Structure 1
Amino acid sequence: MNVVLGQVVISKAGRDVGKVFIVTEIIDANYVYISDGDLRRVENPKKKKIKHLVITEDVIETIVQKISSDIRITNADIRKAIADIQNSSQSDE
């Protein structure tokens, strides 16, 4: 499965296992930069192998629009998007 900018992913390996992140940059076919806006901020994203991520179907369109138009994304944008995704998944249950 291909990863796109702004996609919500979950770590399945490493010390951050189970945490939710958003893809902020695609490095190559094997690696991406991910951020959660809290411990892994936009200024210092985590480089992660794609095979160590659970790729969800959720893509945050506001993040994609900001990245594609070279508008700076903030840590608050990422935290809000992750909170919205988690709240909507809890309400579905």
Structure 2
Amino acid sequence: MNYEAGMLAWSRAGHDKDTLYVIVKTEGEYVYLSDGRLKPVDHPKKKKIRHIQIVRQIPEELLGLNIVTIKNEEIRKAIRRFSNV
């Protein structure tokens, strides 16, 4: 499976189960996740790949944005839009 920064992912294990995040960075068997609120971009959550379920699309709000300079507001907007669909 190919995990990319900007993709949405559901947490499938841990105290944050069923929480929607945006992948900020990938590193080996880990991904770094942000929800723009409790886990901001500058302090993302580190989680093993096997503990997430990927959503195979990058939200329109995040397409073309540099994931390094992305803001918490943009992540919150993308998550809110996806979860209301």
Note whether the superposition's TM-score is higher than 0.5: yes
Give the count of matched residue pairs. Answer: 85
Displacement of 1:61 after TM fit? 4.5
Alpha-carbon distance in structure 2 between the residues aligned to 1:37 and 1:62: 14
Please give the residue correspondences for 1:26-65 in structure 2 after superposition, counting only pairs within 5 Å: 26-28=26-28, 30-65=29-64
TM-score with structure 2 setting the length: 0.89
Q: Which runs of 5+ in 2 are unaligned?
A: none
Q: Which structure has the bigger radius of gyration?
A: 1
Displacement of 1:80 after TM fit? 0.1
Question: Which 4+ stretches in 1 moved above 4 angstroms?
Answer: none
Alignment-derived partner of residue 15 in structure 2: 15
In structure 2, what residue type is equivalent to 1:43? D
TM-score with structure 1 setting the length: 0.82
What is the percentage of aligned positions where both structures have the same residue? 38
Alignment-derived partner of residue 76 in structure 1: 73
What is the root-mean-square deviation in Å for CA atoms of aligned residues?
Answer: 1.5
Q: Secondary structure at the match of 1:22?
A: strand
Higher helix share: 1
Alpha-carbon distance in structure 2 between the residues aligned to 1:75 and 1:7: 15
